[in-house]
Amino acid sequence: MSAFETRRDQIYDWLAREGSAMVLFEDAEGRRDPTVRWLTGHPADALLFLTADRKSLLVPWDINMAKAYAQADIILPYSEFERRPGAAILGAAEKMKIPPGSKIEIPSVTSYPAFLNYVGTITDFDIICREHGAGETAKKLRAVKDEDEIKIYRKAAKITNEIIDHLEKNVRSGKIKTETDAALLIEIESRRRGCEGTGFGTLAAGPERSFGIHAFPAYTSAAFAGPGLSILDFGCRYGGYTTDVTLTFARDCTAAQEKLLTLTEKAYKLALSMARPGAAAKTIAASVDSLFAKSKKAMPHALGHGIGLEEHEDPAIRSRADNEWILEPGMVFTLEPGLYDQVHGGCRLENDILITEKGAEALTEGRIIRL
């Protein structure tokens, strides 16, 4: 079986437990869901129907792209259903021989007017739209990467590490002078190495702008890596999966800035030492919060987050009381402690972590670079 078939099997099993006959996953403008790619390999823009009798029907906007990349039992162009989701649901139900009166689940992000329209026009079936349904189930399943995904991640991390080294070399040599220089180098080098591009908008903030968690604008023509603290947050998207790292470049730092750097490095080492199978993500994040609090500092964001086909996925690595995630082998997430000061600037150290049976493995080599 292919990895896509194995992943679909988990949804088929869920459908059987829920008593639903068919489920729709939708990846479209305004309603992006990379679960479609996770289950079929199709890059983007498609409807995917899975049925309780373990059949899959992909309805792509671009049939040529689907023939090149997708794996599904049946592939039909969206034009066959007049490019209307309601018509596609009815057509899929007929094609997949769904009995009248059966439950058909649609995405939880469906707007209320659209839901009412479906209920009013698709009267032979029970249309289900709920918060804790197939979409959330798929997201939780995606939190644990399989062997195929981990292989992709190792390649993506290798590329990311090469670019990190290239960035450091070019900063030290003076070839990178501005935030734009740094951001464009990442874009060029990631595509040169076979990536689909960057995983998200690169954030490059020189000493005058590094006080923000996420600099605005994302990068400018301002000086980068001059005296003080500069932050560079980026990811490389390879095979659909994105890395996410943050480097801090420190030059001629004051005592206050050096304290921010030292605390951030200490927090990262603490978090990495605690990350292992069975560890509660909330406990790790709370320990970092406590470390910062002892120095009368506070981190204004979560310690980390899962990554995958999206830049922010499960598991959540944060100290919020409602965080119930327990780490297990196959999870890939960031650890990114950071401190920010409007006067002294900010620093963040972020790497991508894979949980294995033996513990935590840092896939990437993000670091604080003292110039």
Q: State the helix-helix crossing angle for 85-95 and 112-121, rounded to 10 degrees.
A: 40
pLDDT score recorded for residue 1: 79
Q: Mean of the pLDDT values across residues 165-194?
A: 98
- % of residues, the chain, pLDDT over 90: 99
Domain ranges of the chain: 3-142, 147-370
CA gap 108, 128 in Å, rounded: 9
Residue 155 has pLDDT above 90, yes or no: yes
Closest by CA position to 74, among listed 40, 123, 35: 40
Q: What is the dihedral of CA 273, 278, 281, 283, to 10 degrees?
A: -70
pLDDT score recorded for residue 103: 97
pLDDT-derived band at 259, boundaries 50, 70, 90:
very high
Q: How many CB atoms lie within 10 A of CB 82?
A: 10
Residue carrying the six token digits 């922010």: 312
Is 147-370 a domain of CATH 2.60.120.20?
Answer: no
Residue 181 has pLDDT above 90, yes or no: yes
pLDDT 10s digits, 336-353: 999 999 999 999 999 999
pLDDT score recorded for residue 369: 98
Q: Mean of the pLDDT values across residues 253-278?
A: 98
- % of residues, the chain, pLDDT over 70: 100
Residue 215 has pLDDT above 90, yes or no: yes
Asked whether 50 and 12 are in contact (CB, 8 A), the reply is yes
Residue 34 has pLDDT above 90, yes or no: yes
Residue 334 has pLDDT above 90, yes or no: yes
CATH for 3-142 is 3.40.350.10
pLDDT score recorded for residue 30: 86
pLDDT score recorded for residue 141: 98
Evaluate the omega torsion of the peptide bond into residue 107 and state whether it is cis, within 30 degrees of 0.
no
The per-residue pLDDT of the chain, averaged, comes to 97
Q: Mean of the pLDDT values across residues 311-328?
A: 97
Q: Mean of the pLDDT values across residues 4-16?
A: 97
| Environment class of 134 (CB within 10 Å of its CB; exposed 0-12, middle 13-18, buried 19+) | buried
CA gap 247, 253 in Å, rounded: 16
CA gap 349, 276 in Å, rounded: 19
- The DSSP secondary structure of 295-357, one letter per residue, reads TT---SS-SEEE-SSSSSEEEEES--TT---B--TTBEEEE--EEEETTTEEEE-BEEEEE-S
Angle, CA of 239, 277 and 142, to the nearest 5°: 35
Q: Mean of the pLDDT values across residues 90-101?
A: 96
